[in-house]
Structure 1
Amino acid sequence: DHPIVQLQMKEMMAQISTEASDKRWWDYRELWNSHSNKRRLICVLGMAIMGQASGNSLSSYYLVAMMNTAGIKDEKFVLALNATNSVLGLIGSVIGARLTDRVGRRPLLIYSILFCSVIFAVITGTSKMAVDDPSNKNAANTTIAFVFLFGVVFSLGWTAQQSMYIAETLTTSTRAKGTALGNWASSCISLVLAYSSGPAFEKIGYYFYLVFVFWDLLEAAFIFFFFPETKDRTLEELNEVFDAPDPVKKSLEPRTAETVRATMNQNEAKVIDV
């Protein structure tokens, strides 16, 4: 019977009664039929595509090719490195999941992807040194270390957020279809990279890493300008964020007792109208 609990129940009932119009499974127009929904869709597709196109597919599917490029060709050693990389990625994702509510979504995404760009630049240089001088074990070992570091950094900043951020940015009525569309986009980009990365390694070798050096920088800029911060926001507050002319700017406004009360009053007015 607590007033806050009652208000939250009314907010959810109002949202469902006014927005739950998902009656036709084939109709996806609700994902882009308004300014706020278009901005949400940008976040969904951006997260889905960048979550697969940031170079993480290389460190998972093409780790053997990366090691061969650095001059490491012992099969048992490469297999051990592959297993180690998976374990480090798991540790990074667990830590990242705990940091999302402390650091925030945007800082984790932006700084981790910038770090990934730097890592790929280093891997490019060390791979070149290893290829030019096969006896240079330091270059090969440095390549291994930075491949592992990439797995940890990407997992820390992105793995936990790939599904979470998409779910947070969608409304109740569009969450199922929006998530499905995001999964479709993610699968498409994964398919493209799966069939293009192998030939790219064969044609240009370690220079292929430079693609991700610059691509990850573009991703950081895209997130900075288009991804609102969802930390500490209820789904009802996010409606107000995405309805704003500049959702990113709105999301970065300090969340105070006054702003929360204003949102609650707006939602309570909607409940009364319903």
Structure 2
Amino acid sequence: MTNTLNSKKVIITGASSGIGERLAWHVAKQGGVPILLARRGERLKQMIEQIEKDTGVAGYADSCDLSDRADIDRAFRAIKETIGDVDALINNAGFGIFESVEMTELDQYESMFQVNVLGLIQCVKAILPSFVSRGGHIVNIASQAGKMSTPKASGYAASKHAVLGFTNALRLEVKSKGVFVTGVNLGPVRTNFFDQADPEGNYQKSVERFMLDPDTVAQKVVKHLFTPKREINLPSWMEAGSKLYQLMPGLTEKLMRKQFEKK
């Protein structure tokens, strides 16, 4: 087993499945210590046991509801008391609901912002004093939706716009303090994210051939831990589309109208 992370302690939120699950495995594979947060405590326990069996690395897990401010505070206090200082935070937890503005309830918007934005910010603030004093790396999983909005994704896109804005401001604030900040902007990934975002499966079917593999995403993120990587953008063709959108939004919306309306 390679040991490029040298026992670095890495918190991963939303770790019980999908990208988070694969992040945990790749962190351990590279010699880091995965610290897993998600609501599914029993699933996290199984993961920790399997990771130790596969890699010899003893991780840590805590059942934590990222929509509950008190529970986030409790979980980070427990990590501090049990593990001590950590070296990296990967904010991976998040969800989306794909529906028109007219049909999306206000409490659904609120729920997305609570987890995707405010929960993320609270996690950052919980570890930031330690990172400023001793260095560290913050990775925020955003989305290409944060760069280019599409129909029926108003709440999700708005929350990821907020994540990008927060991430870019944070990076500038802590750049001189030994803290790396990386934004990760992804297109559709083959995970259970769509079980809630697209329960009928129509959008999944339309983008199936374009979906990213969560293992590939996780491997790339872990590869860039503790390096001054500003952004990771996948897939490359979607990032090109996002850049075109910034330059020529009207033309891009016209050219990609059919793709935009597949939700």
Say yes or no: TM over 0.5: no
TM-score, normalised on structure 2? 0.31
Structure with the higher helix share, 1 or 2: 1
Q: TM-score, normalised by structure 1?
A: 0.30
Larger C-alpha radius of gyration, 1 or 2?
1
